[in-house]
A and B are shown apart, each in its own frame.
Chain A
């Protein structure tokens, strides 16, 4: 474990511009050691730029950044810092003619205390593919190799840029378990993803970026007022009952269901279920749902003028 106390990542008033375009405009956040932290936002929101600054791959224009207690731009500590970081990026190839084991063995040699190669092969489920050449792997297997290369150095801090894109559902769940395991061991994880269920399943805290600024932050359950907003109750009408018979007013929704939107779902449910018990009828398909993280995310990152597309084009 790292000796210096304090956050694993600390970002204060970070700014970075490309020409006249501000890719990151005044962003501040902190990531605690051992936390799984998600950075969300549409393409061009400044996620990649922020992460590349944290990795020391890109320099910043202004602001204070500390990663594991050191400035990622400081050349004297840069190598030590990189030996403590694992990085899983998108679209970075691996030498096609080497085998999975050779690639992992080579990378293991970069770090002072690597994880054993066989252990990594098991952790990412590539044991049977250990001697296969990288170019023969499927897209999902290559993604798992990427994750393996990210964790081979036993990093204190792991950057995961869309770690499960292209994985089938079971490989995805296995990767989630792996990330939880690493988090349990005390590894700090900085995650980006386009899958909101992934963020909900893994992240303790979320920051949403749009146009280079933080538009919301919090836990996945509470962000954007998810925990206090309107709930939606849905069910199908029981046989022989019409909508007018119901004790609370509902709107017909798709699939022949009735939908009730309320901020006081406990009282509404009490009335509704009490009524059903008295009448000896069921409420088929009864669900109570709050706004999903995806709803909140889309709401937060939507812009009436759609500047994000223009920004993306400018960035190209």
Chain B
């Protein structure tokens, strides 16, 4: 140990307060490094929604949808898959990653480091949002250049919908990770819940408002999020889907409260 070592708590605190934001940046860098150094995982995570969109767009994209004012189906699919991409990154992938890391002890290892909780979790969440953002860009590019989809005039409404959805589904991913005790269950449980709600939410087949199915799926955030992202893409309606955004946000806040209450750093296998 050298004599220059910082030993005074106040002095060490000063060192940290200056560089906390840089620490978040560093953590995000290593999160991304870890993500991209596993290229198969990265390509599947990002590519799944893109491949899905291309297949659906090529097979059914040019048919017209009566219940949505006779627009082309692809004009609905692009925002639908943008919503899907955000949900799969922030909800499905994040939840599985959190369960795996908790059970492998990675979260506990980080918790025992001097980093504050908000740096640790903030970096994981922001890194997830970055992956979601990359997916959104790729999907928009595919929509625009492969299918000539008309992108929203009101960028603000689109971005707000993505931000509200991204944050809410991040909270939902964190919340559901706390109730899944082991990594073997994480993938199947989360994916089944997700795909059932996606189907009921009308990702593949637009569902008419007011129908029994629509009323049922209105209790869950997925349909509302798809509608909120679709609104700015819908030439015949207001780009702001306030009601849908509000429901998504309520789910997000509730999930955040639940996640904070239940969050566990140590593996369940220990006790």
Give the contacts of B1-49 with A (CB-CB under 8 A). Answer: 1-2, 4-9, 12-13, 15-16, 23, 26-27, 30, 33-34, 37-38
Query: For residue B27, which residues in chain A have a CB less than 8 angstroms away from its CB?
Result: 106
How many residues belonging to A are interface residues under a CB distance threshold of 8 Å? 42
> Is the CB of A95 closer than 8 A to any CB of chain B?
yes
A316 and B270 CA atoms in complex are apart in Å by 7
Q: Using known A-B contacts A1-B7, A95-B34, A102-B30, determine if residue A82 contacts B114 with beta carbons closer than 8 Å.
A: yes
The residue on A at minimum CB distance from B113 is A110
* A92/B4 in contact, CB under 8 A: no
Cβ-defined partner of A92 (8 Å) among B1, B26, B108: B108
Q: Using known A-B contacts A1-B1, A156-B1, A315-B271, determine if residue A110 contacts B9 with beta carbons closer than 8 Å.
A: no
Query: For residue B105, which residues in chain A have a CB less than 8 angstroms away from its CB?
Result: 89, 91-93
Distance of B264 from chain A, by nearest CB (Å) = 12
* A83/B37 in contact, CB under 8 A: no
The residue on B at minimum CB distance from A155 is B1
> Which one of B23, B34, B106, B116 has the highest number of Cβ atoms from chain A below 10 Å of its Cβ?
B34
Distance of A103 from chain B, by nearest CB (Å) = 9
A123 and B4 CA atoms in complex are apart in Å by 22
The residue on A at minimum CB distance from B100 is A93
Query: For residue A84, which residues in chain B have a CB less than 8 angstroms away from its CB?
Result: 7
Give the contacts of B225-268 with A (CB-CB under 8 A). Answer: 265-266
Query: For residue B9, which residues in chain A have a CB less than 8 angstroms away from its CB?
Result: 70, 76-77, 80
Query: For residue A76, which residues in chain B have a CB less than 8 angstroms away from its CB?
Result: 9
A3 and B33 CA atoms in complex are apart in Å by 40
> Is the CB of B196 closer than 8 A to any CB of chain A?
no
Query: For residue A97, which residues in chain B have a CB less than 8 angstroms away from its CB?
Result: 33-34, 37-38
The residue on A at minimum CB distance from B35 is A97
* A316/B113 in contact, CB under 8 A: no
Give the contacts of A288-316 with B (CB-CB under 8 A). Answer: 315-316
* B112/A87 in contact, CB under 8 A: yes
Q: Using known A-B contacts A79-B114, A82-B114, A97-B38, determine if residue A185 contacts B109 with beta carbons closer than 8 Å.
A: no
Distance of A99 from chain B, by nearest CB (Å) = 9
A109-126 toward B: CB 8 Å interface, digit per residue (1/0)?
Answer: 111110000000000000
> Which one of B106, B109, B115, B265 has the highest number of Cβ atoms from chain A below 10 Å of its Cβ?
B109
> Is the CB of B72 closer than 8 A to any CB of chain A?
no
Cβ-defined partner of B111 (8 Å) among A2, A57, A156: A57
* B12/A92 in contact, CB under 8 A: no
* B5/A83 in contact, CB under 8 A: no
* A82/B109 in contact, CB under 8 A: no
Query: For residue A70, which residues in chain B have a CB less than 8 angstroms away from its CB?
Result: 9
Distance of B152 from chain A, by nearest CB (Å) = 37
> Is the CB of A186 closer than 8 A to any CB of chain B?
yes
The residue on B at minimum CB distance from A154 is B1
* B106/A154 in contact, CB under 8 A: no
* A112/B6 in contact, CB under 8 A: yes
* A2/B109 in contact, CB under 8 A: no
Query: For residue A133, which residues in chain B have a CB less than 8 angstroms away from its CB?
Result: 37
A153 and B1 CA atoms in complex are apart in Å by 11
Query: For residue A94, which residues in chain B have a CB less than 8 angstroms away from its CB?
Result: 106, 109
The residue on A at minimum CB distance from B111 is A57
Give the contacts of B33-85 with A (CB-CB under 8 A). Answer: 33-34, 37-38
Query: For residue A87, which residues in chain B have a CB less than 8 angstroms away from its CB?
Result: 112
> Is the CB of A219 closer than 8 A to any CB of chain B?
no
* B1/A186 in contact, CB under 8 A: yes
Distance of B269 from chain A, by nearest CB (Å) = 9
A180 and B104 CA atoms in complex are apart in Å by 30
Query: For residue B104, which residues in chain A have a CB less than 8 angstroms away from its CB?
Result: 92-93
Distance of A292 from chain B, by nearest CB (Å) = 31
* B106/A82 in contact, CB under 8 A: no
Cβ-defined partner of B112 (8 Å) among A1, A55, A106: A55
A82 and B13 CA atoms in complex are apart in Å by 12
Distance of A150 from chain B, by nearest CB (Å) = 10
A185 and B1 CA atoms in complex are apart in Å by 7
A133 and B37 CA atoms in complex are apart in Å by 10
A133 and B39 CA atoms in complex are apart in Å by 14
Distance of A36 from chain B, by nearest CB (Å) = 16
* A18/B1 in contact, CB under 8 A: no
Distance of B263 from chain A, by nearest CB (Å) = 14
A185 and B5 CA atoms in complex are apart in Å by 14
* A98/B30 in contact, CB under 8 A: yes
A-B contact pairs, 10 of them (CB 8 A): A1-B5, A85-B112, A92-B105, A92-B108, A93-B106, A94-B109, A98-B34, A149-B109, A153-B114, A154-B5
Besides A82-B112, A92-B105, A93-B105, 7 more A-B contacts (Cβ < 8 Å) are A1-B7, A80-B12, A95-B34, A97-B37, A107-B113, A109-B26, A149-B109
Counting from the closest, the 5 A-B pairs by CB-CB distance are: A92-B105, A93-B104, A80-B9, A97-B37, A82-B114
